[in-house]
Structure 1
Amino acid sequence: MTDTLAIALAQINPTMGALAGNAALILASRAEAAKGGADVVLFPELSVTGYPPEDLVLKPFFIDRVMDQVRELAAATADGGPAIIVGAPWRVEEGSNKGKIENSALVLDGGEIVARVGKVHLPNYHVFDEMRVFAPAALSGPVMVRGVRLGLMVCEDMWFEDVAECLEESGAEILVVPNGSPWERGKDNQRLAHAAARVSETGLPIIYLNQLGGQDELVFDGSSFVLNPDHKPAVWLPAWQPRIEVTRWSRQERGWHCEAKPAERAPEDTGDLYQAMVLALRDYVEKNRFPGVLIGMSGGIDSALSAAIAVDALGPEKVITVMMPSPYTSQDSLDDAAECSGYLGATLHSVAIEPAMQAFGAMLAPVLGEANDITAQNVQSRARGLTLMALSNQFGHMVLTTGNKSEMAVGYATLYGDMCGGFNALKDLYKMQVYACSHWRNQNHLPGFKGPAGRVIPERIITKAPSAELKPGQKDQDSLPPYEVLDDILECLVENEMAVSEIIARGHDKETVNKVWRLLDRAEYKRRQSPPGVKLTARAFGKERRYPITNGFTSLL
């Protein structure tokens, strides 16, 4: 029996499906932890594959390679260094789940796989769909690691009482929770509340380790922590940063206790929204091996914020901005786009679309005659989309779409025009949050940002009335309610699933609420064709919010 233990928390950023690369990252992290005196190194949920692997798990040869990779990792622990606890999908070889795949945590030590624990509770809500690919494991007891009985609970298992209760009753001394928990606003408090509840029920300390990085629409913030039996936090790992942190434990009269390290949990703020978008975009571009991004630079706030995010994520040398003026583009917009690109250090090109407008007008005249207002506006947007995609083909850069959540919700966007592209950093960011993030970035520059410090978005871009500039004198508010009103109604409809009558009772105008409901409902077919974007809220458009396109239900009054 040992009275001390050093457990390293490896808050790492794996790449989906890159088994050899992830294994190399695990071993490099183990080597770093060993220098700090670690006895055990804990890695996040499914750290060997990345999370969530989705239907990759259904490929038998993928599972074969995963299991081979885990065995190679186990063999590497024969060197006498720290034991490691990694996550991987595992084909069960016996019992009621024989032949099925469990989401597993595996203990590797002394050159062998010494223990495996499967995930009991499989999330199947919002963005999660684990029941599709995994089998739920049975409750099990703790595993002995370097003389200490560790109670392994894989991610969702911490959110339920039964797993921790079973582990405590069967002799666990420390609860250990490897996670793949995607970030959204308010998630920190939920995690902490569930961890504290498990500590209260069992009297045991808990280690919560979360992964870092972007994976398609999800972004993982890390924000790992340790709670002692008295509920006091002993360790906080920073959000949005990789970290190998060695925690030191001692056996005391009332159980195991983690030595406290001076660190404070920063409250969530607008900076978390911004950092989430930066990390998600960086990983989407770099893990998919794009050389950079292309952004249609309108002189408006959405494209300006998107450009700032891109430069902070990738560096100015990997960001190309393109101004595509039409006869309706104001001089202010031309100047603002140039000023913003200059602040950011990004390359700016200008490609006028009037020749394309004239060509399309001539092409379509025999059929359309004179194009109506909406048709003419959409031709401009699609000419811009075609221009960006041509540049993307030539340079290899991915087109970054710039529409915000308010626009995506009500369909204030053009299919195959301003909606074309490979990723949208603002997809889950309401318009008023766009303003907040722009103000925040002008006042903040954090380590890891690759863009310049100081103001990067000109003040006039933030203060002027938003406009698509597709016809003379056009303003967004000609077609939409004021954004502070629109955003509140949308949050009621999207995040809170409220009825129209409830929203009106909050003080909103009946006709305005009905209009927003109709716009939201009718734009479903557009959203289904939009590029992926990072999830920031509890109900992001994409895999999380799934409504039928053909839908006769209404809540209108």
Structure 2
Amino acid sequence: MSDRFRLTLGQLNPTAGDLTGNVALARDAWQAGRDAGAQMVALPELFLTGHDAQGLSQNPSSQREVVAQLEALAADCADGPALALGAPWGEGGKLHNAYLILQNGKIAQRVLQHAPAARALFDPAPISGPYAVAGLRIGSPIGADGETGDVAETQAETGAELLLIPNAAPHLRGAMERRLNHMVARVIETELPVIHLNMTGGEGETVFDGATFALNPGGKLTLQMPAFDTAFAHVDLERGPEGWRIVESAFAPQPEALERDYRALVEGLRDYVAKTGASKVLVEQAEGNDTALAAAIARDALGAENVRQIDVPLSDNLHAALRDELAALGAEVSTETLTPPLRALMLRALADDAGEMLLTAQNKSAAAMGTVAMSGDFNPVKDLYQTEVQALCDWRSNTVRAWMQGPAPSPTPDTEEARAEDAILRILLKGGGNVDDCVAAGYAPQSAQRIAERIAAAKTRKGPTAPGPRLKAETA
């Protein structure tokens, strides 16, 4: 029995619903592992279908297609390392979140998620035991199963020598620290080395941040892959008197909080554009930090040559003519009321004519208080309060990174009024507070009442909004 094991980790970016494309990525990863002399190649949770392919997971014919794709992939990868990847798995009339191990031309072993996260599509399953690859017994708590100790401890007690935890964990503020704390806890409980393998890339409003890492017993970090980038890592394990240990490898520097947020917005926009089949975007040329930041994100994501920014001047004659037409129909409309929808119609027509995706640029503060926004296809700043937009504009205007592709924005300074508004909004929106709570926190009663009334009025007329990258949990 060998005392050395090489594991290739694929921190990759699948596309929801694209089984053929995802299989091709898996096959490339397997080839990279084979070339590196690996005994096993591992890919993240739900890699085959992509994490957000809900309809695909639940459709019986699609479930059969999943099995067919897995069997064909196993046959293609028979002569070389084992290949482990996540996929939905139908069994006994139930649908499970599974981790499949392809060996010797077949689906040789499978692990089922024990306790799916709240609101997940999948059914719970009994705790799966470890599986063996080239003499190494591996336990794989899937996704949420790695956040508590039950599955990992059971797998350790039944012979696991390594914990490989495949995940599709999104970028949310503070999530990386929580993730690391969970994995340290698994190491302490089991006294086994742990690898947390994460997905990267954007899918809808979710951005998976990668940042795969590994820990040895005692909690020592032995591998840190980059955040947000697709990457491979060839990880060596050696067996000594105390069991298997991970050999120290590369340590990619990790971005600080503001850079994490900005990078998530860039990756989210890039993949939303690419995965919906577009290549170019249109952004309105307007004053303010929202538009400045949205344009900077778009240029960094797509390249300046794929971003068009235009001003939409509306003449007094056009306003007058439209007001007259509406008046003839019995509707009295002011110029202030008429301008936003007119601009939106013109931008939509220009974008559609050029085959471009139309970006909205409206922050969370403005949306909560009912400010009318253009209806676009995607809103890169949707999950940012106005002061957070300011902070990211300032950061981007003073920062240079190799992955940036466009000029920096020119931010306008924030104001005491904006800071106070955001603080009140956080109390009312995030904390579930009321006007009295705002006053108790030191804010003017008139300001708190005005903002509360605007929030209430906005809720009564709230319509569909453009999607945008999610940076905070739903209650934040």
> What band does the TM-score fall into relative to the shorter chain?
over 0.9
Q: Give the residue type in structure 2 aligned to 1:363.
A: E
* One of 387, 393, 400 as aligned partner of 1:432: 387
Alignment pair present for 1:110 and 2:45: no
**How many angstroms does 1:537 deviate by?**
1.2
Alignment pair present for 1:363 and 2:318: no
Alpha-carbon distance between aligned partners in 1 of 2:46 and 2:147, rounded to the nearest angstrom: 18
Give 2:347's aligned residue. 388
Q: Would the alpha carbon gap of residues 435 and 163 (structure 1) be closer, same or farther in structure 2, given more than 3 Å must change?
A: same
Q: What are the ranges of 5 or more consecutive residues in structure 2 without an aligned counterpart? A: none
Q: Would the alpha carbon gap of residues 381 and 510 (structure 1) be closer, same or farther in structure 2, given more than 3 Å must change?
A: same
Alpha-carbon distance between aligned partners in 1 of 2:462 and 2:27, rounded to the nearest angstrom: 41
Query: TM (normalized to structure 2)?
Result: 0.95
Counterparts of residues 44-59 of structure 1 (less than 5 Å): 44-59=44-59
**Comparing 307-316 and 482-491, the one that deviates more:** 482-491
Alpha-carbon distance between aligned partners in 1 of 2:331 and 2:284, rounded to the nearest angstrom: 30
Write the deviation string for residues 373-421 of structure 1: whole angstroms up to 9, x where unpaired.
xx43121011100001111221111110000111112112x2xxx3311
**How many angstroms does 1:516 deviate by?**
2.4
Give 1:317's aligned residue. 305
Give 1:506's aligned residue. 441
Write the deviation string for residues 67-115 of structure 1: whole angstroms up to 9, x where unpaired.
1111111112212x221110000111xxxxx021101000011111111
Alpha-carbon distance between aligned partners in 2 of 1:258 and 1:313, rounded to the nearest angstrom: 35
Q: Secondary structure at the match of 1:46?
A: coil
Question: Does structure 1 conserve the Cα–Cα contact (< 8 Å) formed by 2:370 and 2:454?
Answer: yes
Alignment pair present for 1:25 and 2:25: yes
Alpha-carbon distance between aligned partners in 2 of 1:29 and 1:500, rounded to the nearest angstrom: 55
Alpha-carbon distance between aligned partners in 1 of 2:2 and 2:133, rounded to the nearest angstrom: 10
Give 1:530's aligned residue. 465
**How many angstroms does 1:22 deviate by?**
0.5
Give 2:419's aligned residue. 484
Q: Give the residue type in structure 1 aligned to 2:390.
A: Y
**How many angstroms does 1:244 deviate by?**
0.3
**Comparing 34-43 and 168-177, the one that deviates more:** 34-43
Alpha-carbon distance between aligned partners in 2 of 1:504 and 1:101, rounded to the nearest angstrom: 50
Give 2:73's aligned residue. 73
Q: Secondary structure at the match of 2:122?
A: coil
Alpha-carbon distance between aligned partners in 1 of 2:147 and 2:467, rounded to the nearest angstrom: 28
Give 1:11's aligned residue. 11
Q: Secondary structure at the match of 1:284?
A: helix
Q: Secondary structure at the match of 1:321?
A: strand
Alignment pair present for 1:406 and 2:365: yes
Counterparts of residues 234-253 of structure 1 (less than 5 Å): 234-253=222-241
Alignment pair present for 1:254 and 2:204: no
Alignment pair present for 1:519 and 2:454: yes
Q: Would the alpha carbon gap of residues 369 and 191 (structure 1) be closer, same or farther in structure 2, given more than 3 Å must change?
A: closer
Give 1:332's aligned residue. none
**How many angstroms does 1:492 deviate by?**
2.8
Question: Does structure 2 conserve the Cα–Cα contact (< 8 Å) formed by 1:357 and 1:383?
Answer: no
**How many angstroms does 1:355 deviate by?**
4.2
Q: What are the ranges of 5 or more consecutive residues in structure 1 without an aligned counterpart? A: 93-97, 326-351, 466-480, 546-557
Question: Does structure 2 conserve the Cα–Cα contact (< 8 Å) formed by 1:494 and 1:539?
Answer: no
Question: Does structure 2 conserve the Cα–Cα contact (< 8 Å) formed by 1:419 and 1:530?
Answer: no
For these two proteins, the number of residue pairs brought into alignment is 476
Root mean square deviation, CA, Å: 1.9
Question: Does structure 1 conserve the Cα–Cα contact (< 8 Å) formed by 2:86 and 2:100?
Answer: yes
Q: Secondary structure at the match of 1:463?
A: coil
Give 2:93's aligned residue. 99
Question: Does structure 1 conserve the Cα–Cα contact (< 8 Å) formed by 2:39 and 2:134?
Answer: yes
Alpha-carbon distance between aligned partners in 2 of 1:172 and 1:355, rounded to the nearest angstrom: 76
Alignment pair present for 1:123 and 2:117: yes
**How many angstroms does 1:265 deviate by?**
5.1
Counterparts of residues 140-289 of structure 1 (less than 5 Å): 140-263=128-251, 266=254, 268-289=256-277
Alignment pair present for 1:300 and 2:288: yes
Question: Does structure 1 conserve the Cα–Cα contact (< 8 Å) formed by 2:11 and 2:43?
Answer: yes
**How many angstroms does 1:520 deviate by?**
2.5
Alpha-carbon distance between aligned partners in 2 of 1:185 and 1:363, rounded to the nearest angstrom: 50
Alpha-carbon distance between aligned partners in 2 of 1:528 and 1:60, rounded to the nearest angstrom: 34
* One of 357, 382, 406 as aligned partner of 1:451: 406
Write the deviation string for residues 299-319 of structure 1: whole angstroms up to 9, x where unpaired.
322111111111111112211
Q: Would the alpha carbon gap of residues 51 and 365 (structure 1) be closer, same or farther in structure 2, given more than 3 Å must change?
A: same
Question: Does structure 1 conserve the Cα–Cα contact (< 8 Å) formed by 2:39 and 2:133?
Answer: no
Q: Give the residue type in structure 1 aligned to 2:310.
A: V
**How many angstroms does 1:27 deviate by?**
0.9
Question: Does structure 2 conserve the Cα–Cα contact (< 8 Å) formed by 1:177 and 1:209?
Answer: yes
**How many angstroms does 1:493 deviate by?**
3.0
**How many angstroms does 1:511 deviate by?**
3.3
**Comparing 155-164 and 523-532, the one that deviates more:** 523-532
Q: Give the residue type in structure 2 aligned to 1:105.
A: Y
Question: Does structure 2 conserve the Cα–Cα contact (< 8 Å) formed by 1:400 and 1:424?
Answer: yes
Q: Secondary structure at the match of 1:102?
A: strand
**How many angstroms does 1:138 deviate by?**
1.0
Query: TM (normalized to structure 1)?
Result: 0.82
**Comparing 172-181 and 299-308, the one that deviates more:** 299-308
Alpha-carbon distance between aligned partners in 2 of 1:35 and 1:167, rounded to the nearest angstrom: 31
